[in-house]
């Protein structure tokens, strides 16, 4: 299994930025027990927990399959792109990023 921890801070975050006040980290652990043992170090790295509680949520995510969909999503964008010049520039950018 693959494990991630999702840390959600209290409140709405710093501004209207998508994902502001959220952190996630892939863990090295391959079992749930080992993943739980990794959590204190990661929580401490992202600001720790004081007596008032800095986090609204600390969630351990267990993932069976991890899929990299970047190239698939970028290909969909290319298929639906209307401006030919921008499409060409995007295609060059994609080829550099996925090489």
What pLDDT band is residue 51 in, cutting at 50, 70 and 90?
very low
Q: In the chain, how many domains are there? A: 2
Q: What is the distance, to the nearest Å, from the Cα of residue 57 to the centroid of all Cα atoms in its chain?
A: 15
The residue among 51, 58, 48, 54 whose CA lies nearest residue 27 is: 58
- Residue 59 shares a structural domain with residue 19: yes
What pLDDT band is residue 38 in, cutting at 50, 70 and 90?
very high
Q: Under 8 Å CB-to-CB from 61, ≥6 apart: which residues?
A: 3, 4, 5, 6, 24
The residue among 43, 50, 45 whose CA lies nearest residue 7 is: 43
- Residue 34 shares a structural domain with residue 76: no
- The pTM assigned to this predicted structure is 0.62
Helix ranges (H only) for 1-99 are 32-45, 70-79, 84-98
């Amino acid at each position: 299994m693959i494990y991630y921890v999702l840390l959600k801070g209290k409140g709405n975050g710093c501004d209207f930025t998508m994902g502001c006040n959220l952190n996630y980290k892939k863990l090295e652990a391959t079992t749930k027990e080992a993943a739980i043992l990794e959590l204190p170090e990661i929580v401490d790295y992202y600001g720790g927990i004081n007596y008032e509680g800095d986090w609204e949520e600390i969630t351990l995510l267990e993932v069976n399959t991890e899929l990299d969909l970047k190239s698939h999503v970028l290909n969909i964008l290319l298929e639906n792109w209307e401006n030919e010049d921008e499409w060409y520039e995007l295609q060059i950018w994609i080829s550099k990023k996925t090489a």
